Amino acid sequence: MKKTLFFMSVSLLTLAACASNEEGETNEAEAEGEASAEEVDEETNNEAEISEEVVEIEFWHGMGGGLGDTLEALVDDYNASQEEFHITPEYQGSYEELLTQFRTVGGTETAPALVQMFEVGTKYMIESGYITPVQEWIDKDGYDVTQLEENILSYYTVEDELYSMPFNSSTPALYFNKDMFEEAGLDPENPPRTFSEIKEAAEKLTDEDTYGFSMLGHGWFFEQLIATQSADYVDQENGRTADATEVLFGGEEGLRAYEWLNEMNEAGTFEYYGRDWDDLRAAFQTENVAMYMDSSAGTKDAINNAGFEVGVSFIPHADEIDPNGVVIGGASVWMGSGISEEEQQGAWEFMKWFNQPEVQAEWHVNTGYFATHPEAYNEPVVEGEHEEYPQLRVPIEQLQATVPSSATQGALITVFPESREQVVTSLEELYQGTSPEDALQMAVEGSNRAIEVSERASE
């Protein structure tokens, strides 16, 4: 009996000890929190002695590697240019990871004031309720937004409101090996444009260890092949007038693209290198692939790394239809809601600053992304760069030649990431021997199911 009591009291004591420990920890944590808050206060105070009052603004982005360095340098320039605001860039991983991160903290106090988001996250961001449309600040500030590149603005404009500020935009283009073109008796200055021309050229370029053509396993390229035929990806004017209810890419336009890829794949003039951008780029650099589609943001790297002449041209289009151009890709910058007016002011100032021609000129030259401000192309740095790399002009010309329509404006759907996955999976099925009709149907059904689920979930 005594023993039992003893044990019970011991365990109770242990428990009590645990409890008090926990309390202690919380107290410590609180104390730490206070301390750091005080530190921050002190820091701000110290800086305030020099300048008036510095407003800290967090900026989440998804640019790693060299692009990330360029971005940080850009932000440093901004911080040095004025004393009122301080932007702190924070790398959050790939675009997809960035979206996931933002989903988890959106609407809470830890949410950033500025967040970069890839183009297909647009619809999600609008619906999330965690953001303030930049249009509010454009109106408040009387900012002339028409000075920016129209084709980029149109993507991020929904129901006449600009939701996010253009930041890094790119489009796909066709990249080809000029040396191989000459060897195969093709004219490198007059590259193939239509599906059938590409197919014929691919046949001539294919030999024992070279494939004529390849396309990355990424939904973006298929979307472009649809858009340039002036076909919408989803209904409701590409999801721009109302919530999309079903996908439209399963029509003849989609089938043309699938059949074209299938014919080349069956003829052995096409090779699939998977979903990793770098694998396909490596295959091009090692001359295993003669022609492929890549993002215009990769132009300079492609030219610098290649041991041969690289040609850049417009993306392929179906023979039956005149090309309508491209949809922009890349990302834009969003302003978080639920932050102070002051922080929003700072975020807005930064947005205006990076869209200035001089800043955009630097950005374009250092990364290969488009300049969001057309006047940037007249800046001396850009002109010099274009002399040296005339290929950089091709994507710009392609974008400016784009026919404005709902198709080239780009689709707005919440489940875009999932639909892309469905498209890539069905293309992989196609390359493994599934018929173009069946493969395309799979992508359509999968995407429609995703749309249906998301619609019912948000009711």
Partner 1 sequence: MKQQAADILDTKTLTVQDAIDKYKVASTKTWWQKTGNYRIAFLYLLPSLLLFSVFMFYPMIYSLYLSFFFTDAQGTASAFVGWENYTYLFQSAAFRNSVGVTLLFVLYTVPSSVIIALFLALLANEKLRGIGLYRTIFASTLGMSVAASAVIWLFMFHPTAGILNAALTSINLPALSWLQDSTMALVSVAITTIWMNTGFSFLILLGGLQNIDEHLYESARIDGAGYFYRLRRITVPMLSPTLFFIITITFINSFQSFGQVDILTGGGPAEATNLIIYSIYKEAFIYYQFGPASAQAIILFGAVLLLTLLQFKFGEKKVHYQ
Contact residues for partner 1 (CB under 8 A)?
A: 4, 7-8, 11-12, 15, 18, 96, 100, 103, 106-107, 124, 127-128, 217, 272-275, 279, 282-283, 286, 288, 414-415, 417-418, 421, 424-425, 428-429, 431-432, 446, 450, 453-454, 456-459
Residue 282, both tokens: 């490596």
Q: Tell me how far, at minimum, the Cβ of 364 lies from partner 1, in Å.
A: 31
Q: Tell me how far, at minimum, the Cβ of 357 lies from partner 1, in Å.
A: 37
Q: Tell me how far, at minimum, the Cβ of 444 lies from partner 1, in Å.
A: 14
Measuring CA to CA, how many Å separate 116 from each of 112, 241, 294? 10, 25, 22
Identity of the residue, 50 or 242, whose beta carbon is nearer to partner 1 in the bound complex:
242
- Distance, in Å, from the CA atom of 412 to the CA atom of 107, rounded to the nearest integer, reads 22
DSSP for 323-381, written as a single string: ------EEEEEEEESSS-HHHHHHHHHHHHHHTSHHHHHHHHHHH-PPPSSGGGGGSHH
Identity of the residue, 85 or 272, whose beta carbon is nearer to partner 1 in the bound complex:
272
What HEC string does 23-40 produce? Answer: HHHHHHHHHHHHHHHHHH
Phi/psi-derived region of residue 185, left when phi > 0, alpha when psi is between -120 and 50, beta in every other case:
left
CB 228 within 8 A of CB 293: no
Identity of the residue, 272 or 314, whose beta carbon is nearer to partner 1 in the bound complex:
272
CA-closest candidate to residue 347, choices 361, 357, 360, 337: 337
How many other CB atoms sit within 10 Å of the CB of residue 269? 24
Residue 455, both tokens: 């619609």
Residue that the structure tokens 């030219």 belong to? 303
Burial of residue 204 (CB within 10 Å: 0-12, 13-18, 19+) is: middle
- Distance, in Å, from the CA atom of 330 to the CA atom of 172, rounded to the nearest integer, reads 10
Q: Tell me how far, at minimum, the Cβ of 145 lies from partner 1, in Å.
A: 27
Q: Tell me how far, at minimum, the Cβ of 454 lies from partner 1, in Å.
A: 8
What HEC string does 74-90 produce? Answer: HHHHHHHHCCCEEEEEE
Q: Tell me how far, at minimum, the Cβ of 92 lies from partner 1, in Å.
A: 14
Q: Tell me how far, at minimum, the Cβ of 115 lies from partner 1, in Å.
A: 16
Identity of the residue, 61 or 218, whose beta carbon is nearer to partner 1 in the bound complex:
218
Identity of the residue, 50 or 456, whose beta carbon is nearer to partner 1 in the bound complex:
456
Residue 76, both tokens: 């440093």
CB 67 within 8 A of CB 331: no
Identity of the residue, 56 or 243, whose beta carbon is nearer to partner 1 in the bound complex:
243
- The type of residue at 422 is Q
Identity of the residue, 102 or 181, whose beta carbon is nearer to partner 1 in the bound complex:
102
CA-closest candidate to residue 397, choices 388, 386, 405: 386
Q: Tell me how far, at minimum, the Cβ of 26 lies from partner 1, in Å.
A: 16
Q: Tell me how far, at minimum, the Cβ of 358 lies from partner 1, in Å.
A: 38
Residue 53, both tokens: 């009052």
Distance of CA 94 to the CA centre of its chain: 9
Identity of the residue, 364 or 420, whose beta carbon is nearer to partner 1 in the bound complex:
420
Identity of the residue, 82 or 288, whose beta carbon is nearer to partner 1 in the bound complex:
288
